């Protein structure tokens, strides 16, 4: 009778160990990596295509000499490189497609920083985050939510980085606005497809972290219960 308890304890411990290795230690298959890269390429292509469409449809060539790229004047305003065409209204007084040039990060962050600082921060951050996420994916880190998050975040980072290298700014064109002032705002900063995919990816990372926390709590509860009682 007394010799059965250690066997149960060993079985539970081994099962937990296998589950933990399955989710964090065992590298993902070549097929999973190929699917991740294919999804990243598809989302990047969608983002870049949508920005090219916005340039052709929602903006116009500027007549005369273009102003310096992303340099604010004495009043702190930045003049766009291209003219703004007629917006396309999708939902009256709420949602429209309107051309904008973003000198900052997602949703306009750091738009008034110097060009050198922007290129250094955004370029290094995009490359470092993309490499880190892809390496973690290949090594088998995280659960299904983490695996789904990687192509969303990496594609968004690549898409916006391509714009910065090509134009010096990011093309935005999705504008959400409203009539009443809410939290001192009447509109959300104009964004693009890359901003959407990055946001989806971050939400998936949060979900993965929540699931990981639950797994750890279950493991902490199961461990004392599986130990043999002292006689």
Residue 86: name the closest of 74, 101, 78, 97 by CA: 97
- Give residue limits of the domains in the chain: 28-208
- Please report the pLDDT score of residue 220 as a whole number: 64
Active site annotation includes 172? yes
The one catalytic residue in 47, 163, 195, 208 is: 195
- Please report the pLDDT score of residue 179 as a whole number: 78
- Please report the pLDDT score of residue 66 as a whole number: 79
Contact 32, 174 (CB under 8 A): no
- Please report the pLDDT score of residue 122 as a whole number: 79
* Residues in the chain, pLDDT under 70: 1-25, 104-118, 219-231
- Please report the pLDDT score of residue 1 as a whole number: 47
Cα 78 to Cα 103: distance, rounded to the nearest angstrom: 9
Whole-angstrom CA distances from 194 to 68, 107, 199 are 25, 11, 9
- Please report the pLDDT score of residue 11 as a whole number: 43
**H or E, element range at 192:** none
pTM, two decimal places: 0.78
- Please report the pLDDT score of residue 48 as a whole number: 98
- Please report the pLDDT score of residue 105 as a whole number: 55
- Please report the pLDDT score of residue 70 as a whole number: 81
The one catalytic residue in 73, 93, 163, 172 is: 172
**What are the backbone dihedrals phi and psi of residue 46, each rounded to the nearest 5 degrees, phi first?**
-60, -45
């Amino acid at each position: 009778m007394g010799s059965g308890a250690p066997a149960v304890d060993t079985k539970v411990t081994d099962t937990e160990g296998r589950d933990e290795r399955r989710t964090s230690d065992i590298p993902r298959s070549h097929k999973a990596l190929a699917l991740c890269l294919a999804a990243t390429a598809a989302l990047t292509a969608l983002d870049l295509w949508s920005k090219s469409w916005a340039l052709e449809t929602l903006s116009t060539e500027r007549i005369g000499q273009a102003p310096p790229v992303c340099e604010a004047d004495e009043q702190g305003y930045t003049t766009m490189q291209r003219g703004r065409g007629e917006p396309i209204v999708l939902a009256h007084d709420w949602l429209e497609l309107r051309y904008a040039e973003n000198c900052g990060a997602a949703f306009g962050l750091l738009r008034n920083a110097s060009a050198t600082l922007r290129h250094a921060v955004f370029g290094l951050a995009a490359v470092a985050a993309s490499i880190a996420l892809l390496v973690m994916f290949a090594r088998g880190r995280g659960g299904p939510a983490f695996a789904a998050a990687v192509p969303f975040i990496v594609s968004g980072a690549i898409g916006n980085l391509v714009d910065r290298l090509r134009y010096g700014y990011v093309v935005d064109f999705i504008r959400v606005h409203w009539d009443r002032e809410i939290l001192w705002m009447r509109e959300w900063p104009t964004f693009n497809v890359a901003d959407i995919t990055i946001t989806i990816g971050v939400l998936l990372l949060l979900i993965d972290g929540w699931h990981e926390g639950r797994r750890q709590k279950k493991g902490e509860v199961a461990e004392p219960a599986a130990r043999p009682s002292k006689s």
